Each structure stands twice: as C-alpha cells, then as structure tokens.
Structure 1
C-alpha cells in the first residue's frame, strides 16, 4: 500500500531547468567556451550545484573558487527568476490537493538549497502541502545516489515499498531505483534513455497522470 509520494522539485514541480541552463551558460561562456542546451541536458539535470560546479572546473580545466561560483550562480538565478518568473508544471496544484485530500503523506526530495526550496514553494503557495522537505545538505551524497530518498522514507517512517518517487531526470531515476522506491518519470527537457526507462514503473506525460495511477492501485 502506498502511503507516501516523494517529489523532486526542479523540472518536475517547477519549470526551472531553462533558467538553470542560462546560469550555467553565462558562467561557462565567460571563460570563452560555448555551452549549448544539449550540453546541459547531457550532464546537469538532477545534480547538486556544488557537484556540477566541480564538474565544470575539471571538465574545462578552470581555476576558480567553487564557493564564489556558488554565490554567482544563485545571483544569476534570482535575476532570471525575477525577470521571467518560474511557473508550476502542469498538474502540480491538482495532484498535491488530491494527495492531501486522500490522506497521503507528501515529501520533497531536492538537490536544491533548503532556503531556495522553501522560498519557491512558499511563493507558489504550495509549501503547506509538504510533510517533509529533504534537501541536498541533509544527506552526504546527492543524486544519483539513493541517500535522499532513503532519508525521506526514514523521516516519514515508511518502507521504500510504501512510497513512490516522481522524477524528471536520469540521476533521480537512478537514485530512486537504488533506494528500491518505485519511481515514475515525468520528463522535462530530456526523455530518459531506455536503460533508465527500464528502472521506472512508467513514463508519464504530466503530474495529472499520477492521480489515475493511484486511483487504479
């Protein structure tokens, strides 16, 4: 019996991946390298920011202070979010309301900073739906490691088999699979590769499909 639904945030609840791409692009191209959407899709969705900044530093052979670039990234993100806004993904409000009304516990498991996650959810008036919020700083290893989903189950006192995970990225799929939590994928910028599809319970078109799945269980 499913008792808990665990959500990712970026690319699943909120349409923020394009903004993240613009931030990475500005950072990388300031060093004279080109950075295309395909590059972002290949290596960045679902990863903790500090992990991606370390990857950039090594991949492009750059010499910079990661803490400094961490602050720069968040400055750029806030600028773009203020300019363009960030919208909820289709079905977010409807699914959260359904889950609350039907007695499911709701958790967020995001690589994001806690302050950022709380701010974004509060801005869209959906923070009150979540029973637990687990962020990147709450675990030793980020996605694709399973730690964050195991922590969510631990906090809500359920077995992995009593939860489901909703994810958009391959890193998130892998993390849920290794945590032995059934995972559904709602793709954002990238369709998961076939080897990742095999690790899911299904690939859905929107969060609204989750309501149908739960009603049929």
Structure 2
C-alpha cells in the first residue's frame, strides 16, 4: 500500500536548473574555459554542489578553495534568482494539494542546503505541505547513492516499497533505484538514457500525471 511520496526539488518542483547552469558557467568561464548547456546536463543535475565543485577542480586542473567557491555559487544563485525569479513546475501545487487531501505523507529529498530549500518552498507557499525535509547535509553520500531516499523513508516511518520517488535526473533515478523505492521521472533538461529509463516505473510529462497514476492504483 502506498503511504508516501518523496519529491526531488531542483528541476522537479522548481524550474531552477537554468539558474544553476548560469552559476557554473560564470565560475568555469572565469578561468578561461567554455561551458555549454550540454556540458551542464551531462554531469551536474541532481548532484551535491560540493561534489560538483570538486569535479570541476579536478576536471579543469584548477587550484581553488571548495568552501570559497561554495559561498560564491550561492551568492551568484541568489543574484540570478532575484533577477530572473524561479517558478514552480507545472502541476506542483495541484499534486501537493491532492496528496494532502488523500492523506499521503510527503517528503522532500534534495541535495540543496536546508536554508535554501526551506526559503524556496516558503517563497512559493508550499513549505507546509511537507512532513519531512531531507537535505544533502543530512546524509554522508549524496545522489546517485541511495542514502537520502533511505533517510526519507526512515523519517516517514515507511518501507521503501510503501513510497514512490519523483525525480528529474539520472543521479536521482539511480539513487531511488538502489534504495529500492519505485521512481517516476519527470524530465527537465534531459530525457534519461535508456539504462536509467529502464530503472523507472515510468517517464511522465508533468507532475499532473502523478495524480492520474495515483487515481488508478
């Protein structure tokens, strides 16, 4: 019996991946390297920021302090969000209200910082829908490892088989699959590759499709 729904945030609930791309682009191009959207989509969505900053440091053979760039990234992100805004994805509020009306438990499992996640959810007046919020800082290993979804199930007091995960990234799909939580993918910037698509229960066009699935369970 399904008892809980676990949401990713960036690219799934909120339309933030383009802002993340702009932050990485500004950082990498400051060292004289080009950085395209294809580069971003290939390696970055769904992963913890510090993991990605370490990847950049090694990939481009750069010498910088991770914590310093971590703080810079968040300053850039705040600037871009203030300039461009960050919208909810189609069907987000409708699905959250449906889940609440039908007494499902709701969790957020995001690689983001707790303060950032809560601020964004509160800004869109959806923070109160969530029974639990699990962030990258709550687990030792981020996506694609399963830790964050296992922690979400533990916090919600449900078995992995009693929950579903909603994700947009291949890293998130892999994490849910290894946690043995059924996962549906609502792609954002990239359709999942065949290897990852086969690990999902389905590829959906929007969060509204989740309501249809739950109605037919």
Alpha-carbon displacement from aligned partner over 1:72-99 (angstroms, at most 9, x marks no partner): 0000000000000000000000000000
Tell me how many residue pairs correspond in the alignment: 217
Q: Structure 2: any 5+ residue segments left out of the alignment? A: none
The 5 A counterparts of 1:179-190 are 179-190=179-190
CA RMSD, aligned part only? 0.2
Aligned residue for 1:8? Answer: 8
Aligned residue for 1:23? Answer: 23
Aligned residue for 2:165? Answer: 165
Query: Residue 57 of structure 1 aligns to a residue in which SS?
Result: helix
**1:198 Cα deviation from its structure 2 partner:** 0.3
Query: Residue 134 of structure 1 aligns to a residue in which SS?
Result: strand
Aligned residue for 2:195? Answer: 195
**1:57 Cα deviation from its structure 2 partner:** 0.1
Alpha-carbon displacement from aligned partner over 1:98-144 (angstroms, at most 9, x marks no partner): 00000000000000000000000000000000000000000000000
Q: 2 CA distance for matches of 1:121 and 1:93? A: 11
Aligned residue for 1:89? Answer: 89
Aligned residue for 1:151? Answer: 151
Q: 2 CA distance for matches of 1:106 and 1:158? A: 11
The 5 A counterparts of 1:15-164 are 15-164=15-164
Question: Normalising by structure 1, what TM-score?
Answer: 1.00
Q: 2 CA distance for matches of 1:195 and 1:56? A: 25
Question: Normalising by structure 2, what TM-score?
Answer: 1.00
Query: Residue 125 of structure 2 aligns to a residue in which SS?
Result: coil
**1:18 Cα deviation from its structure 2 partner:** 0.1
**1:167 Cα deviation from its structure 2 partner:** 0.0
Query: Residue 99 of structure 1 aligns to a residue in which SS?
Result: helix
**1:29 Cα deviation from its structure 2 partner:** 0.1
